Amino acid sequence: MRIAIIGAGYVGLTSAAVYAKLGHTVYAVRKDADKVKKLRRGEVPFYEPGLPELVREGVVSGRLIPTTSYAEAVPNAEVIFLCVGTPPLPSGEADLSQVFAAAREVAENWGPSPSPQSPPIEGGEVNGNPPPLVGGVRGGGYKVIADKSTVPVGTAEKVRKLISSQTSVHSSQVEFDVASCPEFLREGSAVHDTMNPDRVVIGVDSDRARDALLKVHEGLPGERVVTDIATAEMIKYASNAFLATKISFINEIANVCDEVGANVDEVARGMGMDPRIGPHFLKAGTGYSGSCFPKDTRALHNIALNHDYDFKLLKAVIEVNQEQRHRFVRRVRDILGALEGKTIGVLGLAFKNNTDDVRESTALDITRLLMKEGAIIKAFDYQAESNARHEITELVTCPTPEEVTEGADAVLVLTEWPQFRDLPWAEMKTKMRQPFIFDGRNLLDAKKMRLLGFQYISVGRP
């Protein structure tokens, strides 16, 4: 099939590369000519394991076509996925301006393409050759416009109205359906998750759209959940909100464990063996962060409020998550005393391991809180240092994890990079002023750290 994907972030680019791998011809549309040039060389502008290789494979095969041009992609495409950002507005509502702008561009470029050739982008060569082109113009035939971005119920309908109102200018024969096809990939394992979905959710209101979207996903494992559009849109929010709820729940259990002397890791293990509960997303720590859970929980809470429904449980999930990082900082202060002038080593800045993403990172937030109290921070992350310095310009980062311990009054583990487990802790301890470790991710082996002579404090593991 011929597919256009609008937006080349984590969701857009990974989906584009995977669909190309499945044998489809995929236009990956991004406005930034510089980034498109890089994509044509297989360079991905963010860290995501396995994605550069897959993008390169797609480009070399000629099936993945990064382009800046809607006019090239849209007329050729049978299915168009909108994968643009839906960042939060100050109110918590999802900002849909990028979705509507993309839909408008799709509508404006619907008709027959002016040229079967891709507009050349200087420097966009692959192995010295121009990027492969797909010839032949399909023109403005039947298309499915599917949202992959996380969007409130009703967004697909708005996209339908917008496209109808715009395309009618060009043609009275425009045939299309809108759909919702949410993506559930996680950063850090985006390629694996997209190639191995647990389920493919297809929200449609016509057999034609259903068949097109089923065909796009042929060859991928996972159950197909074919449903109506509003339900599909809701499945995505409900899934993210439920996972966030599990995390806030286990964090509250951890806080109680701290009080009563129980071990939250063991509690989670014992709970997770019950298949009705399941073992996943029960890791206690400093709270969830990233580009999805914080934004989507707030957006869903807002959607409910807009319909005069007070989603009390979700409100508590959000509050617990906010409070968890403050509780952690209070703990550090209670044990170390006033933080003014204390040197604190921070291990981990990304919102989770295997990514360079620091959006809504609790690690960064905790770092900010410590700096505000006058602590001297020395930080390290395997991938996220440059993004973190962009957010906190005065942040001092170290080239190795060992160096954050030099002269430190305490070391804080704030991102769950597994490599931190195997650091030469005995040697690092000799460089510290005081042997305190605050493990905000329950990552290290408590027994081992105590045997090494550390004062080791974690979350819900007294």
- Active site members: 292
User: 436 - beta bridge partners?
Assistant: 410, 455
275: Cβ–Cβ under 8 A, 6 or more apart, which residues? Answer: none
Decide if residue 195 touches ligand UDX (CB under 6 A).
no
Residue closer to ligand UDX by CB (options 339, 349) is 349
Decide if residue 290 touches ligand UDX (CB under 6 A).
yes
For residue 348, which of 382, 377, 395, 393 has the smallest C-alpha distance? 382
Residue closer to ligand UDX by CB (options 293, 456) is 293
Residue closer to ligand UDX by CB (options 150, 343) is 150
Among 25, 180, 194, 240, binds ligand UDX (CB under 6 A): 240
Q: Which helix (H) or strand (E) holds 293?
A: helix 293-306
CA–CA dist 301, 316 (Å, integer) = 10
For residue 212, which of 240, 186, 178 has the smallest C-alpha distance? 178
* Closest CB 215 distance from ligand UDX, rounded Å: 23
Decide if residue 247 touches ligand UDX (CB under 6 A).
yes
Decide if residue 351 touches ligand UDX (CB under 6 A).
yes
Give the number of other Cβ atoms within 10 Å of residue 380's Cβ: 24
| CB contact at 8 A, 441 and 348 | yes
Residue closer to ligand UDX by CB (options 110, 184) is 184
Distances (CA, A) of 358 to 46, 116, 354, 392: 12, 40, 12, 11
Q: What is the radius of gyration, based on Cα positions, of the chain?
A: 24
The window from 86-94, 281-289, 380-388, 397-405 that contacts ligand UDX (CB under 6 A) reads: 281-289
* Closest CB 423 distance from ligand UDX, rounded Å: 19
Length of the chain in residues, anyone? 462
* Degrees to nearest 5, angle at CA 216 with 213 and 221: 100
How far from each other are the two terminal CA atoms of the chain, in whole angstroms?
56
Decide if residue 185 touches ligand UDX (CB under 6 A).
yes
User: 224 - beta bridge partners?
Assistant: 200
* Closest CB 197 distance from ligand UDX, rounded Å: 10
Give the number of other Cβ atoms within 10 Å of residue 122's Cβ: 7
Among 110, 293, 417, 425, binds ligand UDX (CB under 6 A): 293
Decide if residue 282 touches ligand UDX (CB under 6 A).
yes
DSSP letter at 94 equals B
Residue closer to ligand UDX by CB (options 163, 314) is 314
402: Cβ–Cβ under 8 A, 6 or more apart, which residues? Answer: 423, 424, 427, 428, 431
Decide if residue 283 touches ligand UDX (CB under 6 A).
yes
Residue closer to ligand UDX by CB (options 325, 342) is 325
Among 27, 249, 288, 420, binds ligand UDX (CB under 6 A): 288
| # residues contacting ligand UDX (CB under 6 A) | 20
Decide if residue 352 touches ligand UDX (CB under 6 A).
yes
Decide if residue 292 touches ligand UDX (CB under 6 A).
yes
Decide if residue 348 touches ligand UDX (CB under 6 A).
no
* Closest CB 351 distance from ligand UDX, rounded Å: 5
Residue closer to ligand UDX by CB (options 75, 285) is 285
C-alpha 12: how far from chain center: 11
* Degrees to nearest 5, angle at CA 146 with 141 and 152: 145
* Closest CB 186 distance from ligand UDX, rounded Å: 4
Decide if residue 289 touches ligand UDX (CB under 6 A).
yes
Distances (CA, A) of 324 to 249, 289, 459: 11, 11, 10
Decide if residue 243 touches ligand UDX (CB under 6 A).
yes
* Closest CB 247 distance from ligand UDX, rounded Å: 5
In the complex, the residues that contact ligand UDX under the rule CB under 6 A are: 183-187, 240, 243, 247, 281-283, 285, 288-290, 292-293, 351-352, 416
